[in-house]
A and B are shown apart, each in its own frame.
Chain A
Amino acid sequence: MKRYSAFAIAREALRNHTGWERAWRRATPKKKYDVIIVGAGGHGLATAYYLGKRHGIRNVAILEKGWLGGGNTGRNTTIIRSNYLQDPSAAIYEKSRSLYETMSQDLNYNVMFSPRGVMMLAQTHHEVRGYLRTAQANALQGVDTQFIGPDRVKELCPIIRLDGPRFPVLGALYQPRGGTARHDAVAWGYARACSDMGMDILQQCEVTGVRSADGKVTGVATTLGDIDCGKLAIVVAGNSGVLADMAGFRLPIESVALQALVSEPIKPAMDVVIMANTVHGYMSQSDKGEMVIGGGTDGYNNYTQRGSFHHIEETVRSLIETFPMLSRLKMLRQWGGIVDITGDRSPIISKTPLGNCFINCGWGTGGFKAIPGSGWATAEMIAQGTPGPLAAAFGLERFREGRFIDESVAAGVAH
């Protein structure tokens, strides 16, 4: 793999850019791989990357029914934070956030990680108490957050309106090291590194069946033919239920649509990420100048990758109360992704009833921020055959045993 650098740009500028190579190889399926990962989104690619990098397992295929990073990885609002209440969540999201800090150097690919700070607004007294508690919990967990008052909020984000009619801003939970990254670049960077390690990325290769014998997976049937594997990892977010059905087990998951939208580009107006959970809205400004806006999920099961119009209206209506300057902005485009919501709103990184089949799913509305940490933990589980310290609490058995990681209470709605 040719490294990207300032020198490489200068060199290619002098020879009319004829020397760039494809970021990842076009592969044809082999008969058998040590590990097959279904799903070439961020989580699947990160899993493959850490399998190769940390555990030396490089005979790996990553199967993708569409195109690389074309699911939720390319459809989110790119927010990265780790200010969770529960210890297992804080541990894996903080691991993830810290891996984002060095990801560009690690992958030799500019993922444009921008630690611009994340503010979660407290707009009711209940929220103030909740975030004070989270700030204390984060201090114990070693996650750098603080509760700040309205004056500091206004200082960090001058376009905000503090004395809104329904929900005045009473403070915020501020994580200065949170921020955003370029979502496509995360997928592309991991794909390039995986391909460089000799792994095969097979796009437009849909899994149509899971073959098993004696309680173990032997391979998968795909639109490109049957492929055998030593171990199988299912990392398909909204389609987890479909794959689990093929493998013969059920999941505590429902798939619903979550939408995001961007405004027309404007000059720099806001250099932090704002989340307003009481009114179901969150917003940041992209490097292109668009205001990137997300809201709540639809209430019913859906696989169509588009959501209900009234949710856009609700999200924008409530954000305008806190950001009146938005009212003059035109919205450019909207898109939807299918998110996999679990009973306790926390993810699943787990063994399955099939001995050599593993699953990573349930990231719901907050998967992008978790990509590197999730890949790290899932790779460890696949390599060792059993979940490591980061993944241990996220097993499927927690629903039977009642050991929930109750972030739906801790985080409100916007995850």
Chain B
Amino acid sequence: MLILTCPCCDVDAEETELHAGGEAHLTRFGPDSSAEDFETYLFQRENPRGVHFERWRHVYGCGKWFHAARCTATLEVFGTYSARTTEPPQDIRDRITARRPGWSWKEHS
């Protein structure tokens, strides 16, 4: 069972208490955008085998959204952090680098 710590209420929540919200840090495009930009925003996904950033909602708890950094190949959790950011914070990146040397933050479009 996947266990994530909600950074909003500091509760260790099992996955049944949470709801997965898909890839994090997508660039959102508005009404005047091109078809290509809309396609990228709505459908194209990194879907990496390895380090992945996701949105989660503590749906049966405080109800708040947060982000999690996880490895999709091992299910290891690197950490969770506030959703009020457009990219992973430095401490999360450092923790990932310690566990996955050579890893780099890909600029998601």
> Taking beta carbons and an 8 Å cutoff, which residues of A are in contact with B?
239, 241-242, 245, 250-255, 299-304, 308-310, 342-343, 399-401
Contacts and interface: CB of A to CB of B under 8 A. Distances in A.
B102 interface: no
A301 B16 contact: no
User: Chain B contact residues (Cβ within 8 angstroms of A): what range?
Assistant: 20 to 34
B89 interface: no
B39 A400 contact: yes
A299 to B, nearest CB: 4
Contacts of A301: 23, 47, 52, 54, 72
Contacts of A302: 72, 75
A299 B15 CA distance: 9
Interface in B55-90: 70, 72-75
Contacts of A255: 47, 49, 72
B107 to A, nearest CB: 13
B48 A241 contact: yes
A410 to B, nearest CB: 19
A52 B83 CA distance: 52
B46 A310 contact: no
Given A300-B20, A302-B75, A308 B2 contact: yes
A301 B15 CA distance: 13
Contact of B47 (A253, A299, A309): A253
Nearest to B48: A241
Given A241-B48, A253-B47, 10 more contacts: A242-B48, A245-B48, A253-B45, A254-B22, A254-B47, A300-B2, A303-B73, A343-B42, A343-B43, A399-B39
A301 B52 CA distance: 8
B47 A251 contact: yes
Contacts of B42: 343, 399
Nearest to B44: A250
7 contacts: A250-B46, A251-B44, A254-B45, A301-B47, A301-B72, A308-B1, A399-B43
Contacts of A245: 48
A252 B46 CA distance: 9
Task: State the main secondary structure of chain B at its contact with A.
Answer: mixed
Contacts of B43: 252, 342-343, 399
A400 B15 contact: no
Contacts of A400: 35-36, 38-39
Contacts of B49: 239, 241-242, 255, 303
B19 to A, nearest CB: 7
With a 10 A CB-CB cut-off, give which of B19, B22, B47, B75 has the most chain A CB atoms.
B47
With a 10 A CB-CB cut-off, give which of B42, B44, B45 has the most chain A CB atoms.
B45
Contacts of A303: 49, 72-73
A302 B70 CA distance: 10
Contacts of B74: 304
A302 B23 CA distance: 12
A253 B47 CA distance: 7
A305 B73 CA distance: 9
Interface in B82-101: none
A300 B45 CA distance: 13
A250 to B, nearest CB: 5
B12 to A, nearest CB: 16
A399 B1 CA distance: 34
A357 to B, nearest CB: 17
A310 B1 contact: yes
A308 B48 contact: no
A152 B13 CA distance: 45
Nearest to A299: B20
A338 to B, nearest CB: 9
A241 B49 CA distance: 8
Nearest to A241: B47
A250 B45 contact: yes
Contacts of B22: 254
A301 B45 CA distance: 11
A276 B1 CA distance: 26
A114 B29 CA distance: 49
A309 to B, nearest CB: 6
A253 B43 CA distance: 7
B54 A300 contact: yes
B89 to A, nearest CB: 21
